[in-house]
Amino acid sequence: MPESQASFAAVGADPAALGGDADTERARALLAMRRLWHADESACVALLAPAAELSAAQRARIEVRARDLIEQLQRLPERHLAEILTHQLALDSPAGLALLSLAEALLRVPDAATADRLIRDKLAGVDWRAAGLGGPMAAALQLGSALVGPRLPSGARPAPLRRLPAPLLRWGARQAMRLIGGRFVFAETIEAALARARSTPGDADHGQPSRYSFDMLGEAALTAADAERYLRAYEHAIQAVGEAYRGLGPVSAASVSVKLSALHPRYEYAQRERVARELTPRLCELAALARRYDIALTIDAEECDRLELSLELLESLLAEPSLADWRGLGLAVQAYQKRAPALIDYLAQRARARSRRLMVRLVKGAYWDAEIKLAQLLGLSGYPVYTRKVHTDVAYLACARRLLAARDSLEPQFATHNAFTVAEILELATGEVEFQRLHGMGDALYRALSSRIGAAGVPRIYAPVGPRTTLLPYLMRRLLENGAASSFVHRASRPGAVSAYAAPVAAAARNANAPHPRIPLPRD
Ligand code: FAD
């Protein structure tokens, strides 16, 4: 067993029972991962610290580069609505809750009478300007609230507006919701998405067209019919993207990102055998199509307890002889999971064993609140994720080094909107690396970066595609992660709020790598 795996395996308290053939390299790599699932947080961070350590000269260069990016992005005249929205509006304020409730339901309400009652119920009495919102969305919402809000001071309700008919009010509220949706959803159909991608100039300064990864909006399928619909949508998307980007190869062409939970109604570990039987052929079908067009297909990272299922499916794809010459298979890895470094070792080992190359998108992880809540509900011995943001930052840096060291078999892709993280990766990487951002986020950061380092600073854009009525789960994740005070996007949207660069290892050491004191172990 390689030394790194041996030491990671030592962290776990209980040696998990191994399924499958315990003698194989794959089984050993899986075991190393399993032992980290709920491992002691301080021990995990201590183990990662050497790999995330930076010299004084590196820290100084990161500080200078990140500071420059932050100053530039804060000077850009039009910061993105998504960034402004998520920092200005506290989600647990009456305005934030009203907005989320409306966003959840309004676009799905089919009839006018129910929509009117919903709007009245949610908007009455909310003063959007007092909640800190500005711009066209606030104007639309303020209009709605002024019309229906008996609790607003009468001065806030201009008399002429009070006489406006319900259809106009409905229109105003729907427009506001569409405005939010439009900022996060790239297009409603893949055809519209491709047309939009074609007409978007990309990075005008460096003549570099933007690269995309299209994602079919929607979350876990609840029924077999849902799963079938998503399968057809992904199939159609791969065909359309493949036709549009023929001949460019998986690194340069647009790609498609897939959520496995959308392809099966019981995508859960307890249904492992059924999932393997029913989902493997569907995924192989999609992969064969992507291979035929030579574009990349990336498996998104979802909740922690789905990870091993996705690895089993990945293994089936790696074992499929007809896909052997395809270099476009990819997986997202969440650094906030304690298993992340062992997962990277596992992926490198599988790629080498199968003489294949895998694309790996390194993210921090978007389901933090849900993971904490679930572990507490189950009374587990530990959390699968870190409880301090800085520990995730340590892990991201250590995982980035691991990924870069495995470039013989893994193609690293760094997905982040954090200027410090971008500067760290630029410091660690030699040669060109791919950055990724979400549509509607991080625009200013990457515009600033491309003005500094040219075409190499142009990221791939992860572009959700689908009807806005299916936006909510995705929107919630974006609002939760960016509404958090620790989020970089949240801090960067307020001039002066971003403090000096604190190298993650040193910042974690200030608290002796201890878990968050206000997040007791789940069993407690
Ligand atoms: P930062 O502000 O530096 O980091 C915020 C992140 O820190 C949070 O999202 C969380 O992961 C972590 N964090 C916050 N608080 C704590 C805490 N108390 N303890 C421990 N960790 C904490 N996410 C997925 O899960 N799966 C995907 O497939 C996926 N694909 C993505 C694709 C792209 C192109 C991008 C840009 C992001 C993707 N994400 C995905 C989202 C990603 O995981 C992050 O949520 C998001 O990018 C924010 O991280 P950051 O580096 O930009 O910002």
Report the separation in Å between the CA atom of 455 and the middle of ligand 1, taken as the mean of its atom positions: 24
pLDDT at 64: 96
**For a substitution probing ligand 1, which of 86, 213, 256, 364 has the most ligand atoms within 8 Å of its CB?**
364
Is pLDDT above 70 for 447? yes
Burial tier of 22 (Cβ tally within 10 Å: 0-12, 13-18, 19+): exposed
Ligand 1 atom with the smallest distance to the CA of 459 is 34
Give residue 203's Cα distance to chain centre: 23
Pairwise CA distance, residues 293 & 102, whole Å: 40
* The pLDDT of residue 151: 41
Q: What's residue 242's pLDDT? A: 96
107-129: average pLDDT: 75
Cα(365) to centroid of ligand 1, in Å? Answer: 4
- CA pair distance 414, 436, nearest whole angstrom: 6
Comparing 101-115, 206-220, 427-441, the range with the smallest average pLDDT is 101-115
The atom number, within ligand 1, closest to the CA of 396 reads 51
Mean pLDDT for the stretch of residues 156-162: 46
Which whole number is the average pLDDT over 474-494?
73
| The length of the chain, given as a count of residues | 524
The answer, yes or no, to whether any atom of ligand 1 lies below 6 A from the CB of 114, is no
DSSP string for 194-226: HHHHHHS--BGGGTBPPEEEEEE------SHHH
**pLDDT tens digits for range 502-519:** 999 999 999 999 999 999
Q: Is 271 a residue whose pLDDT tops 80?
A: yes
**Residue 483 in contact with ligand 1 by CB distance below 6 A:** no
What does the pLDDT read at residue 133? 57
Among 425, 481, 498, residue to substitute to test ligand 1 (most atoms within 8 Å of Cβ): 481
Ligand 1: centre distance to CA 505 (Å): 18
Unique residue bearing structure tokens 């119920």:
121
Phi then psi for 223, rounded to 5 degrees? Answer: -135, 165
> How far is it, in rounded angstroms, from Cα 467 to Cα 115?
18
What is the per-residue pLDDT across 348-400, written as a single tens digit (0 to 9) for each?
999 999 999 999 999 999 999 999 999 999 999 999 999 999 999 999 999 99
What is the DSSP annotation of 312-368?
A: HHHHHHHH-GGGTT---EEEEEETTBTTHHHHHHHHHHHHHHTT--EEEEEE--S-H
Asked whether residue 323 carries a pLDDT value surpassing 70, the answer given is yes
Instruction: For residues 465-491, give the mean pLDDT.
Output: 74
Question: What number is the average pLDDT over the span 191-199?
Answer: 93
pTM of the model: 0.88
The more confident residue out of 411 and 85 is 411
For residue 482, give the ligand 1 atom closest to its CA: 2
pLDDT digits (tens, 9 = 90+) for 403-440: 999 999 999 999 999 999 999 999 999 988 999 999 98
- Is the shortest distance between the CB of 386 and ligand 1 below 6 Å? yes
Closest residue by Cα to residue 468 from 108, 124, 151, 145: 108
Q: Is the CB of 404 under 6 A from ligand 1?
A: no
**Token pair 């893994």: residue:** 410
Choose one of 44, 363, 417, 474 to mutate for the ligand 1 pocket test, by most ligand atoms within 8 angstroms of C-beta.
Answer: 363
CA of 124 to the centre of ligand 1 (A): 34
Does ligand 1 have an atom closer than 6 angstroms to the CB of 82?
no
For range 259-275, the mean pLDDT = 93
Q: 351 and 327 in contact (C-beta within 8 Å)?
A: no
pLDDT for res 141: 61
